Amino acid sequence: MTSDNTKKQILKSSAIVGGSSFLTILIGLVKVKVLAVLLGPAGIGLMGILTTVMGVGTTLFGMGLGASGVRELALNNKSMDKLALVRKALFSASFILGLLAIIFIFIFKEALSDIFFQNSDYQLAILVIAVGVFFSLISDSQNALLQGLRKITELAKVKVFGALIATTIGLLVVYQFGAAGIPFFIIAVPLVTFFVALYYSRTLPLLTSQSITIKDLIPKWSSMFRLGVMFMLAALMGVGCQLIVRYIISQELNIESVGYFQAAWQISMTYISFVLAAMAADYYPRLTQQIHNENEANRLVNEQTEIAIVFAAPVLLAMLSFAPLVINLLYSSDFIDSVEILRWQVFGDALKVISWPLGFIILAKGYSKLFFCTELLWNASYILFVYFGIEPFGIEITGYAFAASYLILLVAVYVVSRKINAFRWTMNNIKLILLLMISTVIVLLCSYFSLLITMFLGFILTICAAIYSMNIIAELGIHNRNLVKLLSVYKKIKMMFLLNDKN
């Protein structure tokens, strides 16, 4: 496949998943705004802790089957019999682990309430979260199936419809019951996503009529668990890191500060998914299929890096420039302390966008222990920066630590990628990386002197980045419907400016 064809495929996938991410973000904007008004900082902080608890449970009992399942599906999609075996192994293992999660959480519900809330008043909330863990595992197995088979359109529909329905149900529950409805609001997402994902996964054709026994499943379970356990430990470490940071904040500061941190974190994780979701959905299985061809794999990584920067730059610069307006729009003026955190997290997200394509080299090669080590590096750095910096810097340290940790990770994964796959950035990507870094640093520094100058300069840089991005897309001649509409608008605006210049 030629370079332009590969870029077209990347852009088509990015347009589909990115478009669904954009709609999901819009849904999230409404959700967060309503929750902020109904619950305030303390309610948002409680929601953050319960969400993290569900994340810990899902990660612990998920055993990394999502990541290892996608890899197994991508590697075995040429054989109908092998693919059928992977599908059944993935779903059955997720179902069994989900039941074990419910049993474990039921037994230790009082202890878990004491650990996370320092009292036993939240046992019912913990039990509700146990149901959320079960459905998270089942829905993750169905999403992994769609991703591994590169059913990008179906995966995008699951994301949009799941978010829309879950948000509607969840907000009605919170409106009716207030803070008591928060646990039910949280589990609405995995519950609805399960049914939507199940619907689309069931539309896939039956791959084989051959019966599959437990004896057949055991070797496949063993293979998936061996690879998945390191992914699980890495993911668990990430969720645990969030819990530790929230614990440090609540102990050194207060629950309102946890709410400020949660607000900035939620925005940062949501908007950047516009790029990262597209990367994980299509890029990971494609890279896995090419990973034994070093030159082809490295070309794919460079092209994915270019497209990721092109897509992300306008969004990053806009978020960095208008952070105070974003916080006010999505939350309220009560969350003004989140602005500084958000700005530095956006800067960290710029480094994250650059490092992510490199990290997938480690995943595609199946180097689970090495992947765990890189994740350990980021999480350990982040916790240490927050722990030692919260007293002199206050809640703002969570933003500074986020950016510093991703700088360390970027250097580490680039060195690792050079070692295991002889990877090097192209000169074009080096230029793009430098431009992105310089632009974000300039806007970040301006924010300490003048909000007006920051917004004006940021607006100019955002427009320049958007124009460059549209030119790149236009040169490739993409025929995706959404991109064609976007290009049509861009060309009309460009023509208007050209006509004005001639006059």
pLDDT band at 205 (very low <50, low <70, confident <90, very high): low
Neighbours of 168 (CB within 10 A): 15
Q: Say if CB 317 and CB 458 are below 8 A apart.
A: yes
Residue 395 covered by a domain: yes
Q: Say if CB 37 and CB 174 are below 8 A apart.
A: no
pLDDT value of residue 232: 77
Residue 502 covered by a domain: no
DSSP letter assigned to residue 478: -
- Copy the structure tokens of residue 305: 């890096």
> What would the pLDDT profile of 422-444 be if each residue is shown by its tens digit?
888 989 889 999 999 999 999 98
Kindly tell me if the per-residue pLDDT of 224 is higher than 80. Answer: no
Kindly tell me if the per-residue pLDDT of 26 is higher than 90. Answer: no
pLDDT band at 14 (very low <50, low <70, confident <90, very high): low
Kindly tell me if the per-residue pLDDT of 5 is higher than 70. Answer: no
Residue 501 covered by a domain: no
Number of H helices, E strands in the chain: 19, 0
pLDDT value of residue 434: 93
CA atoms within a 13 Å half-sphere pointing along the CA-CB vector of 181: 16
pLDDT band at 22 (very low <50, low <70, confident <90, very high): low
Non-local (6+) Cβ contacts of 497 within 8 A are none
User: Smallest Cα–Cα separation from 18: which of 303, 299, 308?
Assistant: 308
Residue 374 covered by a domain: yes
Residue 288 covered by a domain: yes
Residue 258 covered by a domain: yes
Kindly tell me if the per-residue pLDDT of 406 is higher than 90. Answer: yes
Q: Say if CB 261 and CB 390 are below 8 A apart.
A: no
- Copy the structure tokens of residue 473: 């897309």
Convert 169-194 to b/e letters by CB count within 10 Å (16 or more is b): bbbebbeeeeeebbbbbbbbbbbbbb
pLDDT value of residue 40: 72
pLDDT value of residue 98: 87
Domain with 98, as residue range(s), is 3-495
pLDDT value of residue 413: 92
> What would the pLDDT profile of 148-201 be if each residue is shown by its tens digit?
676 767 777 777 787 788 888 888 888 788 777 888 888 888 888 888 887 777
pLDDT value of residue 284: 72
Kindly tell me if the per-residue pLDDT of 490 is higher than 70. Answer: no
Residue 382 covered by a domain: yes
CA distance 17 to 38: 31
Kindly tell me if the per-residue pLDDT of 467 is higher than 70. Answer: yes
DSSP letter assigned to residue 394: G
Q: What is the mean pLDDT of residues 409-416?
A: 93
Residue 503 covered by a domain: no
pLDDT band at 401 (very low <50, low <70, confident <90, very high): very high
Q: Say if CB 115 and CB 53 are below 8 A apart.
A: no
Kindly tell me if the per-residue pLDDT of 322 is higher than 60. Answer: yes
CA 125 to chain centre: 25
Neighbours of 419 (CB within 10 A): 10
CA distance 172 to 188: 11
User: Smallest Cα–Cα separation from 330: which of 20, 22, 28, 18?
Assistant: 28
- Residue ranges of the alpha helices (H) in 178-213? 182-202
pLDDT value of residue 405: 93
Of 344 and 204, the one with more pLDDT: 344
CA distance 493 to 371: 45
Q: What is the mean pLDDT of residues 405-424?
A: 91
> What would the pLDDT profile of 478-489 be if each residue is shown by its tens digit?
555 555 555 555
Tell me the average pLDDT of the chain. 78
Q: Which of 51-55, 236-240, 473-477 has the lowest mean pLDDT?
A: 473-477
> What would the pLDDT profile of 450-465 be if each residue is shown by its tens digit?
888 888 988 888 888 8
Report percent pLDDT > 70 for the chain: 80
pLDDT band at 214 (very low <50, low <70, confident <90, very high): confident
> What is the residue type of 194?
F
Q: Say if CB 335 and CB 390 are below 8 A apart.
A: no
End-to-end CA distance of the chain: 44
Kindly tell me if the per-residue pLDDT of 111 is higher than 80. Answer: yes
Neighbours of 481 (CB within 10 A): 11
Kindly tell me if the per-residue pLDDT of 140 is higher than 90. Answer: no
Q: Is the pTM of this model over 0.75?
A: no
Kindly tell me if the per-residue pLDDT of 210 is higher than 70. Answer: no
The DSSP secondary structure of 402-450, one letter per residue, reads HHHHHHHHHHHHHHHHHHHH-----HHHHHHHHHHHHHHHHHHHHTTT-
Of 2 and 42, the one with more pLDDT: 42
CA distance 456 to 83: 53
- Copy the structure tokens of residue 286: 């494609």
Q: Which of 103-107, 282-286, 314-318 has the lowest mean pLDDT?
A: 282-286
CA distance 425 to 430: 6
pLDDT value of residue 381: 93
Domains identified in the chain, total number: 1
CA distance 105 to 94: 16
Q: What is the mean pLDDT of residues 347-358?
A: 90
Task: Give φ, ψ of 417 to 5 degrees.
Answer: -65, -40
Non-local (6+) Cβ contacts of 70 within 8 A are 144, 147, 148, 284, 285, 288
CA distance 9 to 283: 10
> What would the pLDDT profile of 251-300 be if each residue is shown by its tens digit?
888 777 787 887 888 777 776 766 676 666 667 777 877 778 888 888 88
Q: How far is CA 342 from CA 260, 323, 438, in A?
A: 10, 7, 18
